[in-house]
Amino acid sequence: MDSLGWIDEEIEELKAASLFRDPAVIATASGPEVEIAGSSCVLACSNNYLGLAGDARLAKAAADAAADWGAGSGASPLVAGLTSLHRELEGELAKLKSAEDAVLFSSGYLANIGAIQSLAGPGDAVFSDELNHASIIDGCRLSRAEVRIWRHCDPGHLAELLAAGGFRRALVVTDAVFSMDGDVAPLGEICEVAGEHEAMVMVDEAHATGVLGPAGAGAVEHLGLVGQVPVVMGTLSKALGSAGGFIAGPRVLCAWLRNRARGLIYETAPVPAAVGAALEALRVVAEEPWRRERLTELRERVVAGIREAGFEVADGPAPIIPVIVGGSQDAMDLAAALRRQGVFAPAIRPPTVPEGTARIRLTLMATHTDHHAGMIVAAFGAAAAR
Ligand SMILES: *Cc1c(COP(=O)(O)O)cnc(C)c1O
């Protein structure tokens, strides 16, 4: 029992540094409004951008898939095969991304780890933006390739690092939309620089799939680069309202991943319910472009309102609004003030974001009403007035 005594001390240190975390317990389905500790509040921090996680059509598709295909998948696809339902989803994801094929993983985290590890190894170099998601960082570490970090969204710096050479093969990897800042990577320049060195390019579209681009295909589509990024990662768990991750790309890439990605080979295939829900989500993404338009409209309104309340916020095409306050305690105080006004958006602190950049990371949902947007803005106004 006392062998775990050291954890108490570590936790006390976290608490003293305002870095201790304890997930809020939500008493309702994920939606624009949720109930926490007996009171209703506007949920302004979910990645359920299109509002599909609680959509009745997805819930029904999940239930139908479970009824038809069972509750579990039983084994890794390499052991027990892949159902035609899983294969159908891979085909639809490939279509969304205008790719030859796609490979399904149980999560976006596993997709990133699996792909990076399959594409780079000892003797190779992985080039990674300094603000890339933790799953990319972990994939880089597991690959045992040399990792070279370029300054955030700075293709010039990437070019310098690539020019230094000293590797067998190079993999360039970046978030498309940065999860904590909402900015979009300069993918055109990155592809150009990588092309000069025959480096592979991999883009993480976790926050862009379903959200950006005329068809909701992501940042690659938004920037007019369809067909120019060979390795595209996405997740089913954010805008698509389900669970799971995928890599879309050329047929050879997908065949290679099925043979090499440990996060696929040693992991049971995603459950049929998640696959069924994701297939339904793709139909909604195609048929209801109003959800993407609504996100833009809401973002413009909320950004303008928060700025008017005296906060400095960056603005971009993604529905992620970072309100950077600096210190962890200040961010927690602001989160508490928002909470008192009926808005739930917790403080994001190191190590999720760099030291000194603790923040409220506001995210919007297509199903937020005008009233919800007004409440979010009013909550910042009230917090500023204190
Ligand atoms: C959430 C996220 C992932 C992981 O996706 P999951 O499906 O939740 O495992 C990967 N990359 C980025 C940028 C993310 O934000």
Atom of ligand 1 nearest to the CA of 178: 13
238 is catalytic: yes
Spacing, Cα 303 to ligand 1 middle (Å): 24
Cα dihedral 158→160→161→167 (10° resolution): 120
Which residues does 32 contact at the CB level (< 8 Å), separation at least 6? Answer: 42, 43, 51, 365, 367, 368, 369, 372
Of the residues 86, 97, 157, 238, which is catalytic?
A: 238
Round to whole Å and give the CA distance between 364 and 165: 42
Q: Can you give the pLDDT at residue 2?
A: 87
- What's the token pair of residue 280? 């339904």
Q: Can you give the pLDDT at residue 79?
A: 77
Round to whole Å and give the CA distance between 130 and 354: 10
Ligand 1 pocket (Cβ < 6 Å) reads 107-109, 112, 133, 135, 175, 179, 204, 206-207, 235, 237, 245
- Closest residue to atom 8 of ligand 1, CA basis: 108
Q: Can you give the pLDDT at residue 75?
A: 81
Place of tokens 């050291």: 6
107 is catalytic: no
Spacing, Cα 369 to ligand 1 middle (Å): 26
Cβ count near 11 (within 10 Å): 12
The alpha-carbon radius of gyration of the chain (Å, integer) is 21
Q: Can you give the pLDDT at residue 76?
A: 79
Q: What is the DSSP string of 295-337?
A: HHHHHHHHHHHHHHTT------SSSEEEEEEESHHHHHHHHHH
Q: Can you give the pLDDT at residue 1?
A: 63
Round to whole Å and give the CA distance between 259 and 268: 15
Ligand 1 pocket test, candidate residues 237, 264, 348, 353, most atoms within 8 A of CB: 237
- Closest residue to atom 6 of ligand 1, CA basis: 108
Whether residue 298 contacts residue 368, with contact meaning beta carbons closer than 8 Å, is answered with yes
179 is catalytic: yes
Q: Which residues of the chain have pLDDT under 50?
A: none
pTM for the predicted model, two decimal places:
0.96
CA distances from 214 to 48, 74, 229 (A): 19, 38, 18
Round to whole Å and give the CA distance between 328 and 359: 8
Round to whole Å and give the CA distance between 310 and 11: 35
Whether residue 98 contacts residue 217, with contact meaning beta carbons closer than 8 Å, is answered with yes
User: What long-range pairs does 323-327 form, CB within 8 A, spacing at least 24?
Assistant: 323/359, 323/360, 323/361, 323/362, 323/380, 324/357, 324/358, 324/359, 325/358, 325/359, 325/360, 326/356, 326/357, 326/358, 327/18, 327/356, 327/358
Round to whole Å and give the CA distance between 50 and 52: 5
Round to whole Å and give the CA distance between 183 and 384: 25
User: Is cis: bond before 322, omega within 30 of 0?
Assistant: no
Q: Can you give the pLDDT at residue 222?
A: 98
